[in-house]
Structure 1
């Protein structure tokens, strides 16, 4: 919906798209502009379409409402320190973070990130129902390469909220990238973290104990792979977070696991979601025979 009054950049120029919509917000430097298009929404964040005037490219404008953290200023301080490092991360399978700032007037924290033309993997998979196992393997390898980069970074970066809604894809070239790193945690050499965050259906059991390592991301990746194969969100048979928690902490598998017909795929997923001490690293999974080769006759995923 077109804005009634075009925004003015710091250089005094008004800016608008060809369809007539002006920026509804511009960053402090005047480089990035936000449109009213809502691309996605979460518990504390909304993502809008936007434009990088300097580079002439579309971007995603992520906006966090800081009201949720008003009672604990230390959370905001930690976010800033973590984002400073995240901004330096450079990897082909990680969504680039270009800029961030706090808007004191609106009490928001804003992230400018790379945009992926085809949106997130969850919606893309729903749109394209006939996907070969070969394609799923290609997506998986890219996700694991991104995780391996994060986990071997110094310091180690744990995503903590990996799911198919924050893995993004440029469908025309099949490029997959991990996004939503703004609330990741950065840990020291012990690779141990102690705070609870995530999407319940994808959270490893040890996350609930608030004492975990980067291997929680491997568990979440396994659940992502399950969703990619079956087009079902894990534990969708549960109608409350409490029921999900009970199943996860007791070691009960989601019903969707029963729909995985390919034995090699199922075994691979089970490796990812096993007990922490038996759970492989991203690098080890990349060398797993299941992913290291593609069979040309892999014509379907497991859910047909």
Structure 2
């Protein structure tokens, strides 16, 4: 495990300990095994939202289904933001589904950041197709960048295509 991977895993543990929401992946514990940090967390057997979209084979989702997923993601993100946490990598690959593919869970908090009150973040991180204009321009950012990514996820749910392609 590289230093960066260990840092991301420790960060994810710290963040997940603060969160308790039905639409955020549940953290159980962490432990060391052969010098590797292991994280025990909730299993989401339905795969990722990205996989779900890909399996649609261009068959658009019903508006009701889109709203069903979107509201859950929105509620989870609101919970995350009320704890002054930026996810910083919200995308369909980091949104997980239960076995019935009806309950969504935000996961992968490895590059998330805990803010202090009204502070902003400066490090450019995230997945290019989902990052906000201020991130692209190297400007300070806050929870609004996660909302931008949420809009990209909504577009992807509605069209089965990414809103933007990375160069």
The two structures have a TM-score, normalised by structure 1, of 0.49
1:173 Cα deviation from its structure 2 partner: 5.9
Note if contact 1:191-1:214 (Cα within 8 Å) is conserved in structure 2.
no
Q: Which residue of 1 aligns with 2:160?
A: 231
Larger Rg: 1
**Comparing both structures, which one devotes a greater share of its residues to strand?**
1
Q: Does 1:140 align with 2:140?
A: no
Note if contact 1:82-1:185 (Cα within 8 Å) is conserved in structure 2.
no
1:52-95 per-position Cα deviation (integer Å, ceiling 9, x unaligned): xxxxxxxxxxxxx325x39xxxx83x863663342231101100
Q: 1:165 to 1:79 in 2, by over 3 A?
A: closer
Aligned pairs for 1:215-294 (under 5 A) are: 215-236=144-165, 238=166, 240=167
Q: 1:234 to 1:103 in 2, by over 3 A?
A: farther
**d(CA) in 1 for partners of 2:38 and 2:88?**
20
1:4-59 per-position Cα deviation (integer Å, ceiling 9, x unaligned): xxxxxxxxxxxxxxxxxxxxxxxxxxxxxxxxxxxxxxxxxxxxxxxxxxxxxxxx
**d(CA) in 2 for partners of 1:159 and 1:79?**
14
Note if contact 2:11-2:112 (Cα within 8 Å) is conserved in structure 1.
no
- Cα-Cα RMSD: 2.3
- Relative contact order higher in (CA < 8 Å, ≥ 6 apart): 2
1:180-210 per-position Cα deviation (integer Å, ceiling 9, x unaligned): 1132110010141121210011001212315
Q: Which residue of 1 aligns with 2:128?
A: 200
1:109 Cα deviation from its structure 2 partner: 3.2
SS of 1:111 mapped into structure 2: strand
Of residues 200-209 and 109-118 in structure 1, the stretch that sits farther from structure 2 once superposed is 109-118
Select the residue among 105, 111, 126 that pairs with 1:177. Answer: 105
1:90-135 per-position Cα deviation (integer Å, ceiling 9, x unaligned): 1011001112234464xx3332221112110011122233420111
Q: Which residue of 2 aligns with 1:284?
A: none
**d(CA) in 1 for partners of 2:141 and 2:55?**
35
**Comparing both structures, which one devotes a greater share of its residues to helix?**
2
1:160 Cα deviation from its structure 2 partner: 0.3
Q: Which residue of 2 aligns with 1:8?
A: none
> When the two structures are aligned, how many residues end up with a matched partner?
164
Q: Does 1:66 align with 2:2?
A: yes
